[in-house]
Amino acid sequence: MSRYTGPKRRLSRREGVALFAKDAKSIERKGANPPGMRGIKFRKRFSEYGMQLREKQKAKRLFGLSERQFKNLFDLAAKTRGATGLKLLELLELRLDNVVYRLGFASSRMEARQIVGHGHINVDGKKNNIPSFRVKVDHVVAISPKFVDNTQVKKNLEASSTLPEWLERKATVGKVLRVPNREEMEQIINEQLIVEFYSR
């Protein structure tokens, strides 16, 4: 299944949460009603399977992955020692595009994926244009010298808030200090429901 390319706000309304930063005010103002004319009055109650499916869709859309990419990550997490749900979130957080976003180099994961894909990010001094690249502890992630003066990047760096403690950043150079713990990962995801979905 190809990656969704339609209106992003529609996805946020479908999942009932602001999946993308720009949708937060809209969701707060209009409510998280699903798309369509009927609104919340006619919202159906989800079955157990339906809740598991929605959680999987929420996580997949939040990180901008295709169905195949997400399933492959889950399969990898399932083969890794430790709790599968937690390992899945670790793999998602340590994707290069997500690290670029977390470092404040981009205002969204989508923008981070574009920056990486266009070859504007270096990992340990070498250009890396693979958004799904798995960043490891002590890897240095930096904006390429030719892109450091980009207006949008400067704006993102000025607007970025406090970094998560598993990362550090000096100007346009960041470093992964350690694997994030659960409290530092996405809080709107219930990973256990995702595990249950794939365990059926």
**Each residue's pLDDT tens digit, 84-133:** 999 999 999 999 999 999 999 999 999 999 999 999 999 999 999 999 99
Whole-number Å distance between alpha carbons of 76 and 41: 40
pLDDT recorded at residue 21: 63
Residue partners of 119: CB distance under 8 A and separation at least 6: 127, 129, 144
Q: Indicate the domain borders of the chain.
A: 8-82+187-198, 95-178
**What is the SS3 string spanning the chain?**
CCCCCCCHHHHHHHHCCCCCHHHHHHHHHHCCCCCCCCHHHHCCCCCHHHHHHHHHHHHHHHCCCCHHHHHHHHHHHHHCCCCHHHHHHHHHHCEHHHHHHHCCCCCCHHHHHHHHHCCCEEECCEECCCCCCECCCCCEEEECHHHCCCHHHHHHHHHCCCCCCCEEEECCEEEECCCCCHHHCCCCCCHHHHHHHHCC
In order along its 200 residues, the chain shows pLDDT tens digits of 455 576 656 665 655 766 756 655 654 565 556 665 555 554 567 799 999 999 999 999 999 999 999 999 999 999 999 999 999 999 999 999 999 999 999 999 999 999 999 999 999 999 999 999 999 999 999 999 999 999 999 999 998 778 999 999 999 999 999 999 999 999 999 999 999 999 98
What type of residue sits at position 118? H
CATH for the stretch 95-178:
3.10.290.10
Q: Count other C-beta atoms under 10 Å from residue 70's C-beta.
A: 21
Distance between CA 24 and CA 27 in Å, rounded? Answer: 5
Name residue 168's beta-bridge partners.
175
**Residue where the block lists tokens 């980009």:** 150
The CATH class for the domain spanning 8-82+187-198 reads mainly alpha
Q: Is 13 left (phi over 0), alpha (psi -120 to 50) or beta?
A: alpha
For residue 75, the number of C-alpha atoms closer than 13 Å in the C-beta half-sphere is 6
Q: pTM, whole model, 2 decimals?
A: 0.80
